[in-house]
Structure 1
């Protein structure tokens, strides 16, 4: 299989909604996701990376770029998801290698990310990618 890794054109952001919907265990309304992603693509520090298998998007990761006092210029992969039928074949490793290389071309020195507490498979993946736990992510809904 030959996969294509690329930055999704902003006008095509709606194409990722089905995957992100699955990521959130179908708890968020698709219309709400569509509104949020259509706002996110207007931000200068957000891009969306995707994996194509022919003309089908089978993987997604948002990329948030910023500079932090403790890590320098960094990228934060967000809403990382690969279609279940493509998992366990090394595709995640290939995708992250592509993300690392892409981030380097943008001058990034570090990669930071959050993952859901209950997603043990992602924890194992990120440990295998040499990520270290730096802290806790807190959320308060207003």
Structure 2
């Protein structure tokens, strides 16, 4: 298993992973060709310092992904934090340690950059994900809220 920063060539596989569950299927559009919005968003991620998508590779196949964004802040005495989102593991690779290894890689990257904490949000319906994050040491310390700004 190898963990690398995603390139645009990985984008179709990333979108496939994002769309491959009940919640993702209602939010994403995995089709050929991919909607241009994914390419535009990926270009913005690549241009922003401290923002990347990390993929887990098994040979030449993308089997997991997450987005790691580094956020400098003023609070907590100017602490820098890492934000993890868009976490997905291919259904054939779940329960095999890929997710944990991917997280450990991302956490190490964040530490190397100087982050003092990692934070994430997770949909309340994803009970298995909650157990996974808790097993990795994450604590449900805050309630997250979102305001959708529709197009």
**Normalized against structure 2, the TM-score is what?**
0.82
* 2:26 is aligned with 1:29: no
Question: Does the CA contact (< 8 Å) of 2:5 and 2:54 recur in 1?
Answer: yes
Q: 1:87/1:52 Cα in 2 relative to 1: closer, same or farther (>3 Å)? A: same
Residue 128 of structure 1 deviates from its aligned partner by 0.8
Residue 62 of structure 1 deviates from its aligned partner by 0.5
Q: What are the residue-to-residue correspondences of 1:1-20 with 2, within 5 Å?
A: 3-9=1-7, 11-12=8-9, 14-15=11-12, 16-20=14-18
What is the CA deviation profile of residues 59-82 of structure 1, one whole-angstrom value per residue up to 9, with x for unaligned ones? 000011112313811111110000
**Alignment length, in residue pairs?**
139
Which sections of structure 2, spanning at least 5 residues, go unmatched?
Answer: none
Residue 94 of structure 1 deviates from its aligned partner by 1.2
1:65 — aligned with what? 70
What's the C-alpha RMSD, in Å, of the aligned pairs? 1.9
Question: Does the CA contact (< 8 Å) of 2:56 and 2:98 recur in 1?
Answer: no
Which sections of structure 1, spanning at least 5 residues, go unmatched?
Answer: none
Residue 36 of structure 1 deviates from its aligned partner by 3.0
1:129 — aligned with what? 136
Q: 1:26/1:38 Cα in 2 relative to 1: closer, same or farther (>3 Å)? A: farther
